[in-house]
Amino acid sequence: MGHTPTTARGRATRERILDSAADLIQQRGVAAVTLDDVERAAGVGRSQLYHYFDDRDDLIRSVVHSTVDTVLAAQEPLLLEVDSLAGIHRWFDAIEANGTRQDAVGGCAIGSLASQLSGRDDLTRQAFVDAFARWEAPLIAGLRRMQESGELRPDADVTELADLTMAAIQGGLLLAQIRRTPDQLRLALRGARAALEDALTPLP
Amino acid sequence: MGHTPTTARGRATRERILDSAADLIQQRGVAAVTLDDVERAAGVGRSQLYHYFDDRDDLIRSVVHSTVDTVLAAQEPLLLEVDSLAGIHRWFDAIEANGTRQDAVGGCAIGSLASQLSGRDDLTRQAFVDAFARWEAPLIAGLRRMQESGELRPDADVTELADLTMAAIQGGLLLAQIRRTPDQLRLALRGARAALEDALTPLP
DNA sequence: CGTGTTCTGTACTTCACAGTACACAGATTT
DNA sequence: AAATCTGTGTACTGTGAAGTACAGAACACG
């Protein structure tokens, strides 16, 4: 785990390392980033890296955790609103808007990391399983509330609907990343929309 | 490009190298595979590698091409049948069956490579753009035939439906890879199914 | 202040891995 | 069977990048 900084300066340095590393990794991929690169980008020396992190792997793991936290923190306010079809549409719109930002055409930060690292060891893979579970949880909760309020059919499987939605997001972002055309995400979400609307209680 | 083998033995060796490299990369990811690993797995010496390939990058590129060809060749017979809802369902079923095979829980061979390598250079990224275009082409053609025969609504955008379907496949395989639960793919495809059925001509 | 602690800069070591050199073997042609 | 091309085995070199050593600066607290 390396040393946890106690002073403000130390915390700032650790953050700077983490942010620089996350940026570089996002741009070039995990394998193409060296510690020298991170040092240069963060403006720190070798000793800092090994002061705050055990080794390269520890740094990568820390980047994974920090990336997951960042993404989920950004999603949270919108995800908590998901308890009606309108709420879902607002969430989708936000995701699409976010995916259309120029710098986000690098795909989903979590998804990219996941496909690069999940083959590494089971512990790393588990980190991503957890990340997706945390991401999905508020969606499942919202869908369940929709079911209780009668908006969603009682026989609909909310877990499966949530899984399907996550898959659409990930697939859409992957294609957007490859094709460098952000609207792939919008199209991908159309499928999830269709499936969700199918599960609505039919109007009387 | 390295030397193209002229004898049967040469071709066999080149194939052996390519297959071993593809397997290793599929299992561990591009970065975690060294030339020594490939040599051992293929049972060849260093000189063979540099006889048939210019350098490591050339080998990787060749693996990409060969992987794309393999996947598309496997898909082709089913994709050509896609010109009715029943044909689509048969194709989906085959994809699901394939994704459920134990060794395929490593996600989509093309998708995995794409997210690892598309950030490298534009030429490599373009290879994946082409790969997905080739994959999608017969699907688009089939949907168009369905439109001409009246099975699909005339105002449906077949390209968008195809994109949406590809995204569902990729997202489903990514989640399946991370969660090691093959049925994520089945769920993901349910969204595509819903969108496709929405685009059918309503029964009179 | 001064003393211990946290933090930082630089130069070094080590090693794994890509890439090279070169000799040997097996086939094919005439 | 000589000549020559294609293919193969092994041992080597060079380098880039991870990891280490250690001295020096900034800071906390008496």
At A140-160, the pLDDT tens digits run 999 999 999 999 999 999 999
In the structure, what pLDDT confidence band is assigned to residue B204 with cuts at 50, 70 and 90? low
Given B117, B174, B180, which is nearest A174 (Cβ)?
Answer: B174
Give the closest residue to B140 by CA, choosing from B106, B165, B120, B119: B165
Least confident of A49-53, A123-127, A129-133: A123-127
Alpha helices in chain B (DSSP H): 8-28, 35-42, 46-52, 56-79, 85-100, 109-117, 122-148, 158-179, 183-198
Cβ neighbours of residue A158 closer than 8 Å, sequence gap 6 or more = A140, A143, A144, A147, A152
Task: Write down all domains in chain A, each with its CATH number in brackets.
Answer: 1-54 (1.10.10.60), 61-198 (1.10.357.10)
Interface mutation vs chain A, best among B30, B190, B193, B200, most A CBs within 10 Å? B190
B13 touches strand D (CB under 7 A): yes
* Share of residues in chain B with pLDDT > 70 (%): 98
Distance A144 CA to D5 C1' (A): 73
Cβ neighbours of residue A18 closer than 8 Å, sequence gap 6 or more = A62, A63, A66
Given B177, B187, B191, which is nearest A194 (Cβ)?
Answer: B191
Query: Per-residue pLDDT averaged across A55-82, rounded?
Result: 95
B34 touches strand C (CB under 7 A): yes
Contacts of A166 in chain B (CB under 8 A): 171, 175
A180 touches strand D (CB under 7 A): no
In the structure, what pLDDT confidence band is assigned to residue B30 with cuts at 50, 70 and 90? very high
Instruction: Report the pLDDT value the prediction gives residue B118, as an integer from 0 to 100.
Output: 85
Give the closest residue to A166 by CA, choosing from A194, A189, A142, A141: A189
CA B38 to chain centroid: 22
Query: Per-residue pLDDT averaged across A103-112, rounded?
Result: 80
Contacts of A132 in chain B (CB under 8 A): 175, 178-179
Instruction: Report the pLDDT value the prediction gives residue B160, as an integer from 0 to 100.
Output: 97
Q: Which residue of B has its CA nearest to A112?
A: B115
What are the tens digits of pLDDT across the range B152-199?
999 999 999 999 999 999 999 999 999 999 889 999 999 999 999 999
Distance CA B108, CA B122 (A): 21
Cβ neighbours of residue B36 closer than 8 Å, sequence gap 6 or more = none
Distance CA B178, CA B182 (A): 10
Instruction: Report the pLDDT value the prediction gives residue A100, as an integer from 0 to 100.
Output: 74
Distance CA A125, CA A153 (A): 34
Instruction: Report the pLDDT value the prediction gives residue A52, as an integer from 0 to 100.
Output: 97
Nucleotides of C under 7 A from a protein CB: 6-12, 16-23, 27-28
pLDDT, mean over chain A: 93
Query: Per-residue pLDDT averaged across A65-90, rounded?
Result: 94
CA separation (Å) from A17 to A53, A60, A66, A103?
A: 10, 11, 12, 20
Q: Please say whether the beta carbons of B176 and B185 come within 8 A.
A: yes
Would you say residue B65 has pLDDT above 60?
A: yes
